[in-house]
Chains A and B, each alone.
Chain A
Amino acid sequence: MELPLTHLKDSESGIIISINPSPRHRHHGHHNRGRFRKRLEDMGLTPGTKLTVVNSAPFHGPIELHVRGSRLAIGRGMAERIQVRVNR
């Protein structure tokens, strides 16, 4: 099933389906939306990529991911916009 990344439990894996545009900038033309997505993709979070949630900081803090052999920390707000497919 498809979920936002923030709904994954620790040590659960998923495949990235898409990255949703930032709600704040939905009306600002395609550039602002593009920048946010581009940044995540440049860090290796492209559609089809497998990721594993390792840990999340308490009180809605950032999420630690394992992706492409490296360890990434992603702020909650950004993680909410990443849609992933998981087998549950």
Chain B
Amino acid sequence: MNQERITIALAGNANVGKSVIFNHLTGMHQHIGNWPGKTIEKAEGTLQFKNYTIDVVDLPGIYSLSTFSIEELISRKYIAVENPDLVINVVDASVLERNLFFTLQLIELAPPMVIALNQMDMAAKKGIEIDHKKLEEILGVPVVPTVAPKHIGIYELLQATVDIIEKGNGTPSRVEYGEEIEEKIQKLSKLVAKLQLPYPARWIAIKLLEGDEQLERRVRQLDPEILSTVEKLSQDIQRIHGHSCSTVITSARYETAGCIARDVQKIVSPMTPPFRDRLHAFTTHRVLGYLTMAAIVLSIFFGIFTFGDFLSGFLGDFLYGFKPSFEIVFGGVIGELIWGGIVEGLIAGITIALPYLLPFYLVLYLLEDSGYLSRIAFLMDNVMHKIGLHGKAFIPMMLGFGCNVPACLGCRIMETEREKLLATFVVTLVPCAATTVIILGLVGAFVGFEWALLLYVIDLVIIFFLGRIAFKVLPGEPTGLIMEMHDYRFPHGRTVVKQTWFRVKEFIKMAFPLIIAGSFVIKLADILDLLKPITDTLSPITVVWLGLPAITGITLIFGVLRKELTLIMLATLLGTSNFSSVLDPVQMIVFTLVAMLYIPCISTISTLVKEQGWKRALFITVFEIVFAIIVGGIANRILLIANIW
């Protein structure tokens, strides 16, 4: 049979069950990547239906097609420029009005489309009955009711897709903005039609009247005169309506969405608060909410921490167990290079990243899918504001205590590039499990537990101040919290597992080569006897400024591979694990302080490269090295003057 290849895109608000539909459609044939040059995830997959091979692209969840977030820009550009054969608009039936606001904008962008009226079961539970036939009639777009977790309506959705591909859309109805605005839209449409932009003329006209920055830039390059016409027309509208043109247009769209929603839905049951609502009230309560959150967050933290620690140790012992047999097979320098450079890099990746990454993704998707993530953001918004971030950043920060790698990846949940960078920077300063090993194993064991605790406090203070400084220095507008808190729902297990699996797979592909390359370089330097000259060169810093033995230079270099190595190497090089015989308390504190702050480990650096690009990864790394040295030296001097021991 002749196979035809088509591309469809999934678009819709956040948390409407888009990812469940995507997983049903594509099964195990998925690829998770990034949108070119952006830190936004792009999920693609393929499926066979009848005689079609269908490529599915999952667009980010968004509420509008304006220019607020990169997600919005990516989505509208994808739909207009990449021109998918069809867009499936996933709509949450239980929050119809808000979702239709997006649908109406999508219709203006005029791709062939089908609507998946999803979460029909949630709507029914809320006592909302929707006449989907009527909705289809009003919008002029096929509407397929679906309950994604139960696989209801998925086949019909694909059938409707193929029907449209074969027969084409009718003419969808559109928002009418009222006579005086419509007349201006017509006028502008004619002007912009000549510009040959990839977007529909009516859409450009409307967006220009809304004051869309990106389109204004494009049009200014081609025909600046049009912009003065736009200016004049929108002032006319502002004069007539008493509100800015953008406000008038957005209001009209919501007005239409509201009318349609009221037309097609019927509230059938009296509004008694169901269990979901009571749970919501409980988990956002000003006292009980925080207690619940503390309990949940702490158990997640200790869960991941204990599990990760156990698995990491287990895998490490297991994999290092092969070393003797390896050395028998590959003797000599080559063997040393292969083991130390390649195998140990691999082990570092497997034992650091995976034991923490796997449970992290599971928990993150469970929290996100169920809706609890947004409640945490609600409760913690105020605290996170103190370091210039908003509530959503709390999750990656908390996870950073386990491992910085998933924490950096978790910064994706922030909305703007600026916030992503800010959160990532802050997160790399959080002391991870390996850092805790150093803090407790050196300072905690040989200087005193209260000093170990003090180091934690100092780190938190540093995070607070550096966060504030970065917040002030970084250009761009800080954004406050605006988010929808959708109803609690049961996470769809299979989707969560698949989401986790594909992201871990993606991480291995991206980060492992970097980790191995990094280890290889350090091991090569070791074999070529370059480490001694390097420590000698470093001795003005390590010996003079930090007051540490010169040999610590080597351990700090190896700490880049994995931070607890600094302690293990120190014991090997000093020939004892009774550190108090070779280091005095001041040296131990200074050493730990530097090890805690000085550089993200190679796994984290690889993640930084993946998330933020080479330049920013390099900047963060260099900054933290310099900063750690400065702080270490100052601490050294203060402690010497204080003369406690």
Once bound together, how far apart are the Cα atoms of A64 and B374, in whole Å?
11
Inter-subunit contact A75/B254 (CB<8 Å): no
Of B67, B254, B378, B487, which is within 8 A of A73 by CB? B378
Inter-subunit contact A46/B98 (CB<8 Å): no
> What is the count of residue pairs linking A and B with beta-carbon distances less than 8 angstroms?
127
Residue numbers of B with Cβ under 8 A of A are 63-64, 66-68, 95-98, 101, 210-211, 213, 243-244, 246-247, 250-251, 254, 258, 261, 280-281, 284, 286, 374, 377-379, 381-382, 385, 390-391, 477-487
Inter-subunit contact A77/B480 (CB<8 Å): yes
Asked if A70 CB lies within 8 Å of chain B CBs, one says yes
With contacts A44-B101, A62-B481 taken as known, whether A37 is within 8 angstroms of B247 at the C-beta atoms is: yes
Once bound together, how far apart are the Cα atoms of A52 and B385, in whole Å?
24
**What are the residues of chain B within 8 A of A36 when measuring CB–CB?**
477
A30, A38, A64, A72, most chain B CB atoms within 10 A: A38
Residue numbers of A with Cβ under 8 A of B are 22, 24-25, 30-32, 34-44, 46-49, 55, 57-62, 64, 68-78
Of B97, B210, B246, B480, which is within 8 A of A69 by CB? B97
- Return B240 CB to nearest CB of chain A, in Å: 15
**What are the residues of chain A within 8 A of B484 when measuring CB–CB?**
43, 70-73
Inter-subunit contact A75/B481 (CB<8 Å): yes
Once bound together, how far apart are the Cα atoms of A53 and B63, in whole Å?
21
Once bound together, how far apart are the Cα atoms of A42 and B67, in whole Å?
11
Inter-subunit contact A61/B98 (CB<8 Å): no
Give the nearest-CB partner of A40 in chain B. B482
Of A30, A32, A38, which is within 8 A of B66 by CB? A38
With contacts A38-B68, A44-B98, A74-B480 taken as known, whether A55 is within 8 angstroms of B63 at the C-beta atoms is: no
Inter-subunit contact A46/B477 (CB<8 Å): no
Of B66, B96, B378, B483, which is within 8 A of A61 by CB? B378
Inter-subunit contact A35/B486 (CB<8 Å): no
**What are the residues of chain A within 8 A of B210 when measuring CB–CB?**
38
Inter-subunit contact B254/A49 (CB<8 Å): yes
Inter-subunit contact B381/A69 (CB<8 Å): no
**What are the residues of chain A within 8 A of B101 when measuring CB–CB?**
42, 44
3 smallest beta-carbon distances between A and B, as pairs: A75-B480, A42-B64, A75-B481
With contacts A68-B97, A72-B484 taken as known, whether A35 is within 8 angstroms of B68 at the C-beta atoms is: yes
Give the nearest-CB partner of A62 in chain B. B381
B95, B478, B484, most chain A CB atoms within 10 A: B484
With contacts A41-B246, A42-B63, A62-B391 taken as known, whether A69 is within 8 angstroms of B96 at the C-beta atoms is: yes
Inter-subunit contact A57/B480 (CB<8 Å): no
**What are the residues of chain A within 8 A of B379 when measuring CB–CB?**
57, 61
Of A49, A62, A70, which is within 8 A of B95 by CB? A70
With contacts A47-B243, A57-B284 taken as known, whether A69 is within 8 angstroms of B95 at the C-beta atoms is: yes
Give the nearest-CB partner of B65 in chain A. A42
Inter-subunit contact A72/B246 (CB<8 Å): no
Inter-subunit contact A73/B485 (CB<8 Å): yes
Inter-subunit contact A34/B382 (CB<8 Å): no
20 extra A-B contacts, CB within 8 A, seeds A39-B68, A39-B482, A64-B485: A34-B244, A38-B210, A38-B246, A38-B250, A40-B482, A41-B251, A42-B68, A46-B250, A46-B254, A57-B284, A59-B382, A62-B481, A69-B97, A70-B95, A72-B483, A73-B374, A74-B482, A75-B381, A76-B382, A76-B480
Once bound together, how far apart are the Cα atoms of A64 and B211, in whole Å?
29
Of B68, B254, B284, B478, which is within 8 A of A44 by CB? B254
**What are the residues of chain A within 8 A of B481 when measuring CB–CB?**
62, 73-75, 78
**What are the residues of chain A within 8 A of B97 when measuring CB–CB?**
44, 68-70
A47, A57, A62, A64, most chain B CB atoms within 10 A: A62
- Return B639 CB to nearest CB of chain A, in Å: 36
Of A24, A31, A39, A74, which is within 8 A of B213 by CB? A31
